[in-house]
Amino acid sequence: MKILISDSLSSRGVDVLQQAGFTADVKTKLSKEQLLDTIKDYDAIIVRSGTKVTADVIEAGTRLKIIGRAGTGLDNVDRDVATRRGIVVMNTPGGNTITTAEHTIAMIVAMSRKIPQATVSTKAGSWEKGKFMGTELYNKTLGLVGLGQIGTYVTKLAQGLAMHVIGHDPYLAPERARDLGIEAVELEELFRRADFISVHTPLTPETRSLINAHAIGKMKDGVMIVNCARGGIVNERDVYEALKSNKVAAAAFDVFEKEPVQSDHPLLALDNFICTPHIGASTEEAQENVAVAIAEQFVDYFKKGVARGAVNVPSVPPEILPHIQPYLGLASRMGFFQAQLIDGGIEEVTVEYRGEVAQLSLAPVTVAVLKGLLSSILEDVVNAVNAPVLAKKRGIEVKEIKGSDAGDYTSLIRLHVKAGKQTHQLAGTLYHKKDPRIVESNAYAVEVIPEGHMLLVHNVDRPGVIGTVGRILGEHDINIARMQCSRAQKGSEALLIIGLDGPPPVSVMDTIKRERDILSVRHVDLSRVS
């Protein structure tokens, strides 16, 4: 594997990649044109905040399998395009939690005590004690917008300063907020009550310009605002106006909408505004942590198939993978098998989990079913990343059902696929918890090893049919690897499944179809299932 590192990365991360046998090339400060020309030769890319992995970069990266961000934010990566292309996007959300939280608190302290302004004044030869009257943090209310890993660590630090913390996060359970000692409130109440406000959310369409003139109008006079998260969450023009009018007493930014920030940016001219050049995660410890973390995640993915830190594919913890891996293989083969038996566009897929398998984390298994189904009918590359996106794009409704009763089996996966005017059913299980078997095809109980090439012959249940099919195959020098027959009831219809050493010629299938009592003949090819 060839990995491009396009932003500065700790040498320890590079060492991890090289020790795993990968080629890791560090090429920083590439121009857009250079990146477009270079990316085509690499299987993966590691970035920080400098490189913009835009749609055209992703399209140029014809070999790309992973885009990794050594850090938290991914607003410099076009995740939608990467997902459609089947490229895993991963980050290291925990690697810079402590350092970013510490920087937030440092900004709050520096802002409230006017430390940067006092430093400049003193170094200029002045001694203006009266000019730099500060504000205590003791017993003040800190409002946190977003209570992920960084927000919760900021909470601990702020509580150590005897601040009262209120927070808004629609995804945080109330009991978790109570455990953290945070008073959970609605956003408008947070704006109204907080003395200090700090944002800790990703930049999304919902959070862009979250703090704007309208929101500032609801805040206390003299509120102080911090943004060490993502540029654009706080509307810079609106904060500028509020700082000039002293509605906002002070603001401290580590991030800007456009970086690097231009020297003529209006905020930079204000005495009550302090800033840093996006260094919230810039400590030696944090940079080493995220470098090693992203490198180890790459090794896990390429060597073990474990997508830790992935944001666009269900992740399976390493300790769970040995239990779920055999089901992933079974599910993929079931999807591939079923897709070759249906006519018409797929409208609905229902995956039914019964028995012990129902206790597992099943999102990756359902994705494996979709991967198998779509791989058989689409020319596009289909994998665990883009299978759900492709299914949604084609209007396929996907459902999961869980239950404890697996009948005669310890675990059973039953797949219902609605296509055209029919619903097709397939069931599979694992023998000895590792060997995949198809045990049901529509109304027929079977025991099929899902591999290689198979003929599925649907016929009238009469004597001589098996002999006739065997004779035709023999006359054309086609060897039978395995065979079984199943019927719904005596004298009705039957299903003959024949494993072959290779693909049957179309002419042979046509010959079988013309025989009396043959209702249909299908070739199922599982030789390409990964």
Pairing, β 397-403 against β 346-355:
parallel
pLDDT above 80 for 314: no
Residue-wise pLDDT tens digits, 179-194: 999 999 999 999 999 9
Please write the tens of the pLDDT for every residue from 323-362.
Answer: 888 999 999 999 999 999 988 889 999 999 999 999 988 9
Give the helix/strand (H/E) hosting 68: strand 66-69
Instruction: Tell me how far the alpha carbon of residue 191 is from its chain's centroid.
Output: 32
Residue 322 has pLDDT above 90, yes or no: no
Euclidean distance between CA atoms 100 and 73, whole angstroms: 12
Q: Residue 43: its pLDDT value, please? A: 97
| 114 contacts 252 by C-beta, under 8 angstroms | no
354 membership: H or E segment, kind and range: strand 346-355
User: Do the domains 2-95+285-304 and 97-275 sit in the same CATH topology, yes or no?
Assistant: yes
Ramachandran area for residue 266 (φ above 0: left; ψ -120 to 50: alpha; else beta): alpha
Query: Rounded distance, CA 385 to CA 312, Å?
Result: 6
**What one-letter code names the amino acid at 320?**
I
97-275 maps to CATH 3.40.50.720 = yes
Across the range 68-90, mean pLDDT stands at 90
Token pair of 391, please? 């299914």
CATH 3.40.50.1820 fits 316-450, yes or no: no
Rounded-to-integer distance, Cα 415 and Cα 350, Å: 6
Which residue ranges make up each domain of the chain? Answer: 2-95+285-304, 97-275, 316-450, 451-530
Domain 2-95+285-304: which topology? Answer: Rossmann fold (3.40.50)
End-to-end CA distance of the chain: 19
Residue 270's Cβ-count burial label (10 Å; 0-12, 13-18, 19+) is middle
Whole-angstrom distance, CA of residue 370 vs CA of residue 378: 12
Report CA torsion sign: 515, 516, 520, 525. negative
Q: What's residue 380's pLDDT? A: 66
230 is catalytic: yes
What token pair was written down for 413?
Answer: 């996966």
Catalytic residue among 230, 333, 354, 453: 230
Nearest to 522 by CA among 530, 512, 450: 512
Beta-carbon neighbour count of residue 6 at 10 Å? 25
Say if residues 299 and 309 touch (Cβ distance below 8 Å). no
Report the percent of the chain where pLDDT is more than 90: 78
Q: Hunting for tokens 């009396």 — which residue is that? A: 516
- Reply yes or no: is the peptide bond before residue 266 cis, omega within 30 of 0: no
Is 278 tagged catalytic? yes
Please state whether 23 falls in left (phi above 0), alpha (psi between -120 and 50) or beta.
beta
φ/ψ of residue 63, rounded to 5: -100, -5
Out of 69, 278, 308, 354, pick the active-site residue.
278
The highest-level CATH class for domain 451-530 is alpha beta
CA 267 – CA 238 distance, rounded (Å): 10
Instruction: Compute the CA torsion angle 453, 458, 461, 463 (nearest 10 deg).
Output: -50
- Give the H/E segment covering residue 441: strand 435-441
Model confidence pLDDT, tens digit, residues 262-310: 999 999 999 999 999 999 988 999 999 999 999 999 999 898 877 888 8
* Nearest in space to 392 (alpha carbons), one of 337, 338, 348, 332: 348
Q: What pLDDT digit, counting tens, does each position of 228-274 carry?
A: 999 999 999 999 999 999 999 999 999 999 999 999 999 999 999 99
Residue 96 has pLDDT above 80, yes or no: yes
Phi, psi dihedral angles at 476 (to 5 degrees): -105, 15
What span, in angstroms and rounded, lies between the C-alpha atoms of 324 and 330? 10
Indicate if the pLDDT at residue 28 is higher than 90: yes
CA dist 420 → 297, 318, 397, 417, 424 (Å):
42, 40, 14, 10, 10
Check whether 320 has a pLDDT greater than 70.
yes
Q: For residue range 484-525, what is the model confidence (pLDDT) as tens digits? A: 999 988 889 999 999 999 999 999 999 999 999 999 999 999
Q: Is 259 a catalytic residue?
A: yes
Place 204 in a pLDDT band, splitting at 50, 70 and 90.
confident
User: Catalytic residue among 128, 188, 259, 285, which?
Assistant: 259
pLDDT, residue 440, reads 95
Closest-CA residue to 55 (of 84, 89, 81):
81
**Is residue 454 within 8 Å of 529, Cβ to Cβ?**
no
Residue type, position 183, single letter: E
Report pLDDT for 71. Answer: 86
Question: What pLDDT is attached to residue 530?
Answer: 63
- Is the pLDDT confidence value at 529 over 80? no
